[in-house]
Amino acid sequence: MTKETDKPLTHFDESGRARMVDVSEKPETTRIAVAEGWIRFSEDTFKTVRDGKTKKGDVARLAELAGIMGAKRTSDVIPLCHLLPLSGARVHVEAVEQDRAFRVVAEIKTTGKTGVEMEALTAVSVACLTIYDMTKAVDKSMVIDGIRLTNKSGGASGDYSI
- Which residues are identified as catalytic? 133
**What number of other Cβ atoms are within 10 A of residue 128's Cβ?**
26
Nearest by Cα to 70 from 8, 114, 13, 116: 116
* CB 116, CB 31: distance < 8 Å: yes
Distance, first Cα to last Cα, the chain: 21
Distance CA 52, CA 61 (A): 10
Give all strands (DSSP E) within 5-125, no chain letters. Answer: 29-40, 88-96, 101-112
Distance between CA atoms of residues 19 and 9, nearest Å:
11
